[in-house]
Structure 1
Amino acid sequence: MPRQKLHIKGMTCASCVRRVEKALQRVPGVQQAIVNLATEQAEVELSEPVPPDALIEAVRLAGYDAEPAIESRMVQADLQAARLRLILSLVFSLPVLVLSMFLPGVLPAQGWWLLALTTPVQFGVAWPFYRAAFGALRSGSANMEVLILTGTLAAYFYSLALTLSGQHHHLYYEASAIIITLVLLGKYLEARAKGRARAAMEALWALVPQQVLRWNGSDYQPVPLAAVQPGDRLLVRTGDRIPVDGEVLDGRGWVDESAITGESVPRECLPGDSVLSGALLTDGLLHLRAVAVGEQTALAQIARAVEAAQSQKGAIQRLADRVAAGFVPIVMVIAVLTFVGWWWTTRSLPDALIPAVSVLVIACPCALGLAVPIALMTGTTRAARMGILLRGIEALERVRTVDTLVLDKTGTLTMGQPHLTRIRLEGEVLEGEAPAEPMESEAPAEPRTPSPFTGRVGVGDNSEPSTEPNENEVLQLAAMLERAVRHPLAEAIVREAERRGLDLAQMANDRWRITDITVIPGGGVRAGNALIGSPRFLQEQGIAVGKEWREPVLLAFDGRVIAGFEFEDEPLPEAQETIRALQASGLHLVLCSGDHAGAVAAFAQRVGIQEWYGAQRPQEKAALVARLQAQGRRVAFVGDGINDAPALAQADLSIAVSTATALASEVADMVLLNRDLRTLLAALQLSRAIYGVIRQNLFFAFVYNTLGIPLAAAGKLNPLIAALAMSLSSVSVITNALRLLRHGTSKKQ
């Protein structure tokens, strides 16, 4: 079914989304229209071909603007326009504020100066508000822009009437100009957030190289990625990213798929193995057959899953709009009735106009406009000081209801660096297994060459008894070989040898010449009779590898395996402490990882998590979150990496750690900016506090209006007192929000 994408301009709230969707769905040939406020895009599903101009015209008739979607250019243009409007508003509004509040009457005919400064703000930089308000009114509803313009226009025209009558005191131009400036500040911050979100989606595709080496029948030639078709033969070299989902035809290499699958340890790839687009070839050389290209790759599917799931989830964000839909008409009716009532009673235009204007001024939505932004501003400032990035009000709303926390392992609970945990020597039995019985017909051992470990000889030399190598000797030999390789597991072996103080240089000088060491790309290392690498590599070199050897790296000498090396990604130092605290707070914890099941089980036991899932690919992680949600749980997912993006988007609350890739961070509702996992608990507590302040601020904002409007209608408040009451409502919400800057400090004292 054909689809078209449009960039929608002028949307500010969820009601705007609904109006645009309805306008598009009324166009003949449109099957469905889905509008995303975060990306400002409409995806239109068509039952028959529809000209883009017809869709654009429908959007414009609804009071908005539209154009065909061109990703980054539009977002950047919106950000520049929002910045320009904010700067212009500040240039005109700050002098109005200074003259009105601190220097009243300092200029001759000061009212005219204030009028000249305020008019460009009210009718120039605020013009997008008029378009949005007009679109809402034309569709029979009211949004935040209607509420803002009602208050600012009331203050402006009342002040204009006084200025025209020659009065230059008790004017309210500053209310009009400053309210608009504050709203523009919020719009600018919103545009910046949307720009970052779009940039992160583009960064996802940066994982894929735009130039590839394709076989032309006689040689590999560079061609654009767009020219690659399924079935093409491609060459990938060490340090290159894999451009397509493919199958290895020839060569061998170690592929780091951590950004795609979450597997922390690079995977050895041989002919017949599959590889994923965006993965990094850390070592080796691969000849691939392209299986899936472009939009069909796993990377593209992850990106689509993120875009589809990135939608509005909260209700409190729309609270002000829902209230405004009924509040604005009610205020207007009260103002009209007030004017009529006083005119009927006094037959005096000034006596009738002043109470009516007082009603409009006391109802000016300054506090309502500040209630949410000021709480977010102070709350996010405090959060940043604590190492937490909060991405919006929707996250704060969902924090309250979360009862289940799903945690990714690699990079979230771990250091993100493989650590050598065990060296199993030949003859040692795996835990839980019985030792092998020797066979009666076993042939006598063949003579062996001298061992490099202690200077003693092995079987077949009658000068002295055989001595098998100990753990340090095995590690010393393995590290000496692995020093020639840049690979995470090789580096882990070398680090452990250095930690134990083993003299690698001395052994190399005494037993081996550096020229004897041969690195086999993507496989392992050979030096004389010694070999180190994966089980498959050793088998290919003619070494018999029994079923008892399950370790990812094996060391062989003189034709037999003598040691295996096990690895683990070390938990963060504070992981156990934080997990206990989270469990004590009533959260049910689940561990979910792309690592193999054995590693995940061992890690879960180590940190104290009872429920765990291993070998989880991106879609499986998202499916796990969906299953928990189907059980009635409210799920938060904590992860890093692109492979976590679908699960982050599926979760009721998504949290990314400081190692998160750009995409994971932009999808996440929260980002932890440091590696101290205790920040996660602090983030949940602070989020609940911010949400509580937002609700309190909305209450304060409406209390002033509901108490002040009857007094103003009764003539007990003139516009000056009404403006003072309006200012007090703003002071109350600001003061309440400032409490957040001290959140958590008393606990540290």
Structure 2
Amino acid sequence: MADAAAEAKHVRMRLIVSAVFTIPLFYLSMGHMFGWPLPGFFLGDENVLTFALTQFLLLLPVVFVNFKFFRVGFKTLVHGAPNMDSLIALGSTAASAYGIYAIYKIGIALGAGDLHASHMAAMDLYFESAAMILTLITLGKYFEARAKGKTTGAIAKLVDLAPKEAVRLADGVEERVPVEAVRVGDVLAVRAGEGVPVDGTLLEGSGTLDESVITGESVPVDKRPGDRVTGATLNSTGWFTMRADRVGDDTALAGIIRLVDEATSTKAPIEKIADKISGVFVPVVIVIAVVTFAVWMLGGATLEVALSHAISVLVISCPCALGLATPTAIMVGTGRGATNGILIKSAEALETAHDVRTVVLDKTGTVTEGAPSVTDVLAAPGASEERLLELAVSVEGRSEHPLARAVCAYARERKVYPLLVEDFRQIPGEGVAALVDDHPSLAGNLRMMEARGIETGTFAEAARRLADEGKTPLFFAQDGELLGIVAVADTVKPSSAAALAVLKGMGIRTVMLTGDNERTAAAIQRKVGADEVIAGVLPDGKEREIRRLAEQGRVAMVGDGINDAPALARADVGIAIGAGTDVAIESADIVLMRSDLLDVPVSIQLSRATLRNIKQNLFWALVYNAVCIPVAAGALSFMGLNLNPMIAAAAMSLSSVCVVTNALRLRGWKPDLPAAPSDAPASAPIDSTESDNPNEKESTMEKTLNVEGMMCQHCVAHVKRALEGVAGVEEAVVDLDAGTATAKLAHDVPEDVLAAAIVEAGYEVK
């Protein structure tokens, strides 16, 4: 990033110096043609030598500040690998050399008293052409440097937002130190309104952090002891102490900067093709220039005319536009991704993503939240939900099982707190038992209840239905009576269904890959609408499945865990969730900082837009050369159409400016997503057509279906939760007496999607 800024500054200096001397040179050399006023000592045949020498002196500073073109250009020419700089050096040198030759002609003519000959020689100096070549090429380079500078501009703003100092606590005493002095393990204090200096873990206190600079999410996040905090985020409210875990180049912010810099320094496959084109194109142009010179000389033209056409060919065919076409678009596209929370680690990944035909998604932590949470609470007749939760949080509070932690978290959210627990013991394969306020209590699976003779009634069937939905039912009993069931599951992320729907709309096949059993995997598949699910796959099996799918076309793998790393590395494009493990992120080509699956289709859309832009640039660059080279060689001279070297230089530079400007259009690119993506239907695309089913009573935002098989309020609760689990359903109202279920919709959802959810819950729809 610093290199890009320094390069832009250096090129800007060269451009300013070049322009300062080229403008008066152009005025002096062309002024008489346009009737512009000139000092008297430049006018008249007797002053032609002053006229010529002044132009030569104005050229020298331009050559000096742009000498890099000559050094690199002639070096590559000598080594037999001419490039763009070779054409620039040859064109400018030829024009300059001819100008020096013309000065000698002027001197000889004046010595012989031939004023007319000296005047004619002064008309063919071409010093302005040599200067214009260098100045206009430098202008194109400046646009390129600016494009790269703009690409890293967003990252530079992040660096500016990062605190420069931190408050370190040492033996209870606060000291303000530079961020560079913070070491891993240091305890830091962060007050309201201050930025978090480094990545770490919150120890004491609490805060509300604005993480938008890192994740792009505008909603502040509450942080409590044990939570991770990220450097460069802003503490809006609260006060807390934190332990520094990652400092310097190991912070998340430093990683973002590093990834963007790496991406802008790599070459995409199509850019390598452009390099190969340049490698062939340059020597061909040199040959054309030599042939042009020879043909004009053999045709009886003067040396001046032949040389003018040859120089024009060298100048106008300069492949600046060809050289700028790909890198500029890649840099702008990468920067655009960064501003959308998508870090693209290589130019190759940005290009390859456009051709992805299959997106494979790991289930846990990618499609789902990755942590269990309570999904259903079914209280038995005579037992309130509060009493059920009170027992649940009391018994499970002593357990370290992840499902137990989910139950306790759910109870705490509802301000239900544990009672006195004694004689707590775990029963392997069944659950736990304890005395809760001196009442014998049980928490476990159906087998535990049946083994102790506890009547489960219709709850056994309810448990089976919950299990079919991929949920884990936990039974709770006290004093020999069942109080109810609490179901726990790894819930689907809000944007998962919408992301898969967008991918389908783009013609991309979606496959969910998981180590879970088929029943759980199938339940998640129905919710998100994946085209295919592959269950029971071990980590090494994931990599094998990616290889198999890759035989059918390019594959992108989306994952977050260590076990996904081999598959991420094997895929054509590996996409890691930003909240995932370091190993997964290192193995991936693209990192989604917002951990939002909707950024998967956005990444592919960005790739397609970038490649389209590159192809446009290459097309116009090649068409420009195909048209202009014959004209410069004199193919249209019979029509009186000739290009002198100066006009050729202007045309060549204009093509470079056009290519860079077209690439910069990517800065205005926006992803094509639904207006309310999180509400997209889970298993089908949005369908705005009206249903013809007579059993459906539909208003603008409601659909009512007739449901059979409901016997009690528990059944009502099942149907209600089944419908509310469908993306796009805001609320479901179920009437047991009428046998109907009404879904209140955020947008239109097909009836078959609603019906499928009810049937899946174990009921029938008429």
TM bracket (short chain) = 0.5 to 0.7
Percent of aligned pairs with the same amino acid: 35
In structure 1, distance between residues paired with 2:441 and 2:138 = 77
In structure 1, distance between residues paired with 2:311 and 2:562 = 55
Q: How many residues align?
A: 488
Mark the CA change 1:314 to 1:648 in structure 2 (over 3 Å): closer, same or farther: farther
Out of 493, 497, 507, the position equivalent to 2:407 is 493
In structure 2, distance between residues paired with 1:408 and 1:152 = 52
Partner AA of 1:724 in structure 2: A
User: CA contact under 8 A between 1:532 and 1:553: conserved in structure 2?
Assistant: no
Out of 557, 562, 574, the position equivalent to 1:654 is 574
In structure 2, distance between residues paired with 1:313 and 1:649 = 19
Mark the CA change 1:709 to 1:651 in structure 2 (over 3 Å): closer, same or farther: same
Structure 1 residue 363, shift from structure 2 partner: 1.4
Partner AA of 2:610 in structure 1: I
- Counterpart for residue 444 of structure 1: none
User: CA contact under 8 A between 2:617 and 2:659: conserved in structure 1?
Assistant: yes
* 1:389-404 map, 5 Å: 389-404=343-358
In structure 2, distance between residues paired with 1:183 and 1:489 = 55
- Counterpart for residue 639 of structure 1: 559
In structure 2, distance between residues paired with 1:177 and 1:502 = 68
* 1:353-502 map, 5 Å: 353-422=307-376, 472-480=386-394, 482=396, 488-499=402-413, 501-502=414-415
In structure 1, distance between residues paired with 2:482 and 2:345 = 53
Structure 1 residue 368, shift from structure 2 partner: 0.6
Structure 1 residue 485, shift from structure 2 partner: 7.3
Out of 651, 662, 679, the position equivalent to 1:736 is 662
Partner AA of 2:542 in structure 1: K
- Counterpart for residue 623 of structure 1: 544
User: CA contact under 8 A between 1:524 and 1:533: conserved in structure 2?
Assistant: yes
* 1:189-228 map, 5 Å: none
- Counterpart for residue 62 of structure 2: 114
Mark the CA change 1:676 to 1:407 in structure 2 (over 3 Å): closer, same or farther: same
In structure 2, distance between residues paired with 1:130 and 1:562 = 88
- Counterpart for residue 95 of structure 1: 17
- Counterpart for residue 672 of structure 1: 592
- Counterpart for residue 733 of structure 2: none
- Counterpart for residue 336 of structure 1: 290
Mark the CA change 1:81 to 1:491 in structure 2 (over 3 Å): closer, same or farther: same
SS in 2 for 1:567: strand
Mark the CA change 1:554 to 1:148 in structure 2 (over 3 Å): closer, same or farther: farther
- Counterpart for residue 87 of structure 2: 151
Higher relative contact order (CA 8 A, sep 6+): 1
Mark the CA change 1:477 to 1:374 in structure 2 (over 3 Å): closer, same or farther: same
SS in 1 for 2:610: helix
Is 645-654 or 178-187 further displaced after alignment?
178-187
Where structure 1 has 5 or more consecutive residues not aligned to the other structure, the ranges are: 1-78, 193-238, 240-311, 429-466
What do residues 417-468 of structure 1 show as CA deviations (whole Å, max 9, x unaligned)? 321234689xx9xxxxxxxxxxxxxxxxxxxxxxxxxxxxxxxxxxxxxx99
Is 332-341 or 347-356 further displaced after alignment?
347-356
User: CA contact under 8 A between 1:638 and 1:654: conserved in structure 2?
Assistant: yes
Mark the CA change 1:564 to 1:747 in structure 2 (over 3 Å): closer, same or farther: closer
User: CA contact under 8 A between 2:434 and 2:442: conserved in structure 1?
Assistant: no
Mark the CA change 1:610 to 1:338 in structure 2 (over 3 Å): closer, same or farther: closer
Mark the CA change 1:340 to 1:123 in structure 2 (over 3 Å): closer, same or farther: closer
SS in 1 for 2:83: helix
In structure 2, distance between residues paired with 1:156 and 1:583 = 54
- Counterpart for residue 723 of structure 2: none
User: CA contact under 8 A between 1:618 and 1:643: conserved in structure 2?
Assistant: yes
In structure 2, distance between residues paired with 1:532 and 1:737 = 66
In structure 1, distance between residues paired with 2:443 and 2:17 = 73
User: CA contact under 8 A between 1:407 and 1:592: conserved in structure 2?
Assistant: yes
In structure 2, distance between residues paired with 1:123 and 1:589 = 53
User: CA contact under 8 A between 1:97 and 1:178: conserved in structure 2?
Assistant: no
In structure 2, distance between residues paired with 1:413 and 1:102 = 65
Matched, 1:173 2:134: yes
- Counterpart for residue 40 of structure 1: none
In structure 2, distance between residues paired with 1:122 and 1:374 = 20
Partner AA of 2:613 in structure 1: V
SS in 1 for 2:66: helix
User: CA contact under 8 A between 1:637 and 1:653: conserved in structure 2?
Assistant: yes
In structure 1, distance between residues paired with 2:128 and 2:529 = 69
Matched, 1:578 2:491: no
- Counterpart for residue 607 of structure 1: 528
Task: Give TM-score scaled by structure 2 length.
Answer: 0.53
Matched, 1:707 2:640: no
What do residues 27-70 of structure 1 show as CA deviations (whole Å, max 9, x unaligned)? xxxxxxxxxxxxxxxxxxxxxxxxxxxxxxxxxxxxxxxxxxxx
SS in 2 for 1:412: helix
Matched, 1:696 2:643: no
Partner AA of 1:417 in structure 2: A
Mark the CA change 1:169 to 1:662 in structure 2 (over 3 Å): closer, same or farther: farther
User: CA contact under 8 A between 1:155 and 1:176: conserved in structure 2?
Assistant: no
Structure 1 residue 591, shift from structure 2 partner: 0.7
Out of 326, 334, 337, the position equivalent to 2:280 is 326
Structure 1 residue 365, shift from structure 2 partner: 1.4
Mark the CA change 1:478 to 1:101 in structure 2 (over 3 Å): closer, same or farther: farther
Partner AA of 2:412 in structure 1: E
Aligned Cα root-mean-square deviation (Å): 5.0
In structure 2, distance between residues paired with 1:369 and 1:382 = 21
User: CA contact under 8 A between 2:152 and 2:335: conserved in structure 1?
Assistant: no
Structure 1 residue 660, shift from structure 2 partner: 4.1
Mark the CA change 1:720 to 1:526 in structure 2 (over 3 Å): closer, same or farther: farther
In structure 2, distance between residues paired with 1:730 and 1:571 = 49
What do residues 274-326 of structure 1 show as CA deviations (whole Å, max 9, x unaligned)? xxxxxxxxxxxxxxxxxxxxxxxxxxxxxxxxxxxxxx997523321332333
User: CA contact under 8 A between 2:606 and 2:671: conserved in structure 1?
Assistant: no
Structure 1 residue 695, shift from structure 2 partner: 0.9
In structure 2, distance between residues paired with 1:98 and 1:598 = 75
User: CA contact under 8 A between 1:115 and 1:160: conserved in structure 2?
Assistant: no
Mark the CA change 1:483 to 1:152 in structure 2 (over 3 Å): closer, same or farther: farther
Structure 1 residue 688, shift from structure 2 partner: 1.8
Is 330-339 or 525-534 further displaced after alignment?
525-534
Structure 1 residue 564, shift from structure 2 partner: 7.2
SS in 1 for 2:567: helix
User: CA contact under 8 A between 2:561 and 2:580: conserved in structure 1?
Assistant: yes
In structure 2, distance between residues paired with 1:355 and 1:718 = 7
In structure 1, distance between residues paired with 2:398 and 2:351 = 53
Out of 621, 630, 643, the position equivalent to 1:717 is 643
Mark the CA change 1:496 to 1:615 in structure 2 (over 3 Å): closer, same or farther: same
User: CA contact under 8 A between 2:140 and 2:653: conserved in structure 1?
Assistant: no
Structure 1 residue 745, shift from structure 2 partner: 8.1
SS in 1 for 2:491: strand
What do residues 399-428 of structure 1 show as CA deviations (whole Å, max 9, x unaligned)? 444332212222322234321234689xx9
Task: Give TM-score scaled by structure 1 length.
Answer: 0.54
In structure 2, distance between residues paired with 1:565 and 1:101 = 81
In structure 2, distance between residues paired with 1:117 and 1:741 = 31
Mark the CA change 1:583 to 1:184 in structure 2 (over 3 Å): closer, same or farther: closer
Mark the CA change 1:617 to 1:90 in structure 2 (over 3 Å): closer, same or farther: farther
- Counterpart for residue 435 of structure 1: none
In structure 1, distance between residues paired with 2:10 and 2:475 = 68
